[in-house]
Chain A
C-alpha cells in the first residue's frame, strides 16, 4: 500500500470520537483527516474531504448515519464502518455496502477485525493504489501447528469443527479433542477458507458443514446447533455473511447427506 488510508469519524458523542481516535492513533497506515459531530455537517464535509474510510454512528441528531451515507453519490461514497448502540440496522447497513457493522461498546478484537476488512478492501476501492497480485485462494490454512508440551502436533483443518477464542489464544475443537493454538481467533479467521469456515461470533469460528440448525433470535442474533449438539451463538454482525455462506453450501452438501430427523 503506497499511501495511508484517510479516515473520517462521524459521531455525536465526544467520548465515542475519543475512543475511535485513540484506537486509530495506534495503527500504522491510517491518517485521521476529519471528525464530525452531527449528520448535517458530515453530509457536506464528507463530500468535500473525500476520505477513504469513514466510521459512522447511526443514531445522531439531525441526519442519521445511514442518511448521511445514502445522501452521498455512489462514486463519492467512502468505505463505511457503521456503529450503533442498539440493533436493527444490519440489513440496511449491508444494503449500503458497509464494510462492517459494529455494536457499541466495541471490543478491541472486533475493532481490529473491522479495520482489517477495510484494509483488505482498500486497494480495490482506490484507483491510485494497485491491488495486490497473487492467488489468494490457494493460501488458506490446511493444517494447524499445535504445541503440546515438547511435541508439535499437526491438526488437519478438515477435522476442525469449531474454534473458540481463549484470551490471546484459540482452542481448536476437532473430533472430540481440544488443542490450544497460540494465535488470536481474529488472526486465524483471516487464514481460513471462507467457503468452509465462518466467523460467527467475537469468540467463535465454525465449520459450515457442522451446522445443522439455525434459529434466529428476536435480538437478531442467532443460535446454531452443530452436529454433536453443541450450541453456538452467532452475532448479528456476522449473520448476513453466515446465511449467505450457508445458502451457497446447500446445493453441494444436500445430495449425499443424511436427511435431517
Chain B
C-alpha cells in the first residue's frame, strides 16, 4: 500500500518519455535490416509511429491506475488488455497499408490477431520499464524524505537541549544588577550591565549551527564568567588556558558555558572561602580534551561520587546528551570528585577544524594577514 501511495506522489512527465527511449531504440535497431526493402521499411515505420502514439494513452492509463491505488494484478491485466487492443488496431492499420500499397485487395479479419508480437511486446516492455522507473524514483524520494525527517528530528532535539542551558542566568544577572542599583552602586551596576551585554552579543552572534570554533566558545564562557566575577568578586578565581593551535577546533555550541555555570553554582558559590575554577583545553592524541576543575564542598553521601549527587546532574546530563547526539561513540565525558577534593569534568571530542576557519580569520582581520603572531 505504501508503495502505491509513494508512486502517486510523483508526476514528472519526463519519466514515461525516458521509459519509452529504450523501447524505441530496440524497435529502431530491429528495423535496421529491413531498410533496403522499401515495403518492409514502410511497415516498420508505420508500426513504430503507431507504437509511439499508443504509448501516450498507455502511460496515461498506467498513471490513472496508480493514482487510484489499483492493486498490481488488476492493473497488469488492464494494461495487458489495453495494449492488446492497441496492437490489434495496429494490425488493422497494417492491413490498410497493404491495401493502399496494392499488396492486398481486402481486409483479412481472420489474420488480424496474427503476428502481434512486434507491437504488443514493445508496449508491454514500455509498461514494465515505466513502472520500474517510477517505483525507483519514488523509493529514492521516500528515502531522502526519511533522512531529512530524521535530521530535522535530531536538529529539533539538539535545539531543545541547547535552549535549556541558557535563560535562567539572565534573570540572575538582572537580579544582581537590581541589587547593585538598590545599594547605590551605580558604577558596579553599569559594569555588570556591560558584561551582560557582552555575553548577549556573543550568543546573538551565533548563527544557529550546532558547532562553532573553540575560540568562540571560550570567549562566550569568558563573557559569562565576567558576570559571575562581578557577582562573586574575590570569591571567584579564574584560570583559563589552552594549548597551541586549538582555537579553530570545532566544539558544540554552549558546551563549556554550562559546565562553568555548574562549577560556580554548585561548587564555588556555596563556599565561604574563595574558590578557584580552572578551565584547560589540550590536544589529546587525535582528540580534544576539555577539562573543568573547581573547588567545592564534597557531599558526604556516596552517591555523589559519580557527580550526579551534588545537583550538577541536569547541566551535565544535558551536555552529555548533546555530545552523544553529535559525535556518537567518538566522544566521552566523565565527572567526579578528585582525590584532592576538587570536582572535575573531563570531556574528549574528535579534533576537527571548523569549516572556513582560516577564511574567517582573514576577513575579520585585515591588518595582520596571518592570524598567528610569531612570538
Most chain A CB atoms below 10 A, which of B191, B215, B233, B244? B215
Chain A residues in 8 Å Cβ range of B190: 105-108
Kindly state whether residue A217 has any CB partner on chain B within 8 Å: yes
Q: Is the CB of B244 within 8 A of A214?
A: no
Kindly state whether residue B372 has any CB partner on chain A within 8 Å: yes
Kindly state whether residue B194 has any CB partner on chain A within 8 Å: yes
Kindly state whether residue A125 has any CB partner on chain B within 8 Å: no
**B residues 358-374 touching A (CB-CB < 8 Å):** 360-361, 363-368, 371-374
A225 to B243, CA, bound (A): 9
Binds A, one of B59-67, B99-107, B219-227: B219-227
Kindly state whether residue B216 has any CB partner on chain A within 8 Å: yes
Q: Is the CB of A223 within 8 A of B375?
A: no
Q: Is the CB of A105 within 8 A of B247?
A: no
Binds A, one of B38-46, B198-206, B260-268, B340-348: B198-206
Chain A residues in 8 Å Cβ range of B197: 103-105
Q: Sort chain B's interface into a size bin.
A: 35 or more
Q: Is the CB of A105 within 8 A of B194?
A: yes
Q: Sort chain A's interface into a size bin.
A: 35 or more
Chain A residues in 8 Å Cβ range of B205: 217-219
A254 to B367, CA, bound (A): 17
Kindly state whether residue B241 has any CB partner on chain A within 8 Å: yes
Q: Is the CB of B373 within 8 A of A211?
A: yes
Also in contact, A223 and B372, with CB within 8 A (given A216-B360, A218-B206): no
Which of A87, A230, A253 is the one whose CB lies under 8 Å from B240? A230
* 20 A–B contacts from the bound complex (CB under 8 Å): A104-B197, A105-B190, A110-B194, A202-B191, A210-B375, A213-B244, A216-B360, A219-B202, A222-B364, A223-B216, A227-B375, A229-B242, A229-B244, A230-B240, A233-B222, A249-B373, A250-B368, A260-B244, A260-B374, A261-B244
Q: Mark A residues whose CB is within 8 Å of B.
A: 86-87, 103-110, 167, 202-203, 209-223, 225, 227-231, 233, 235, 240, 243-244, 246-247, 249-250, 253-254, 257-261
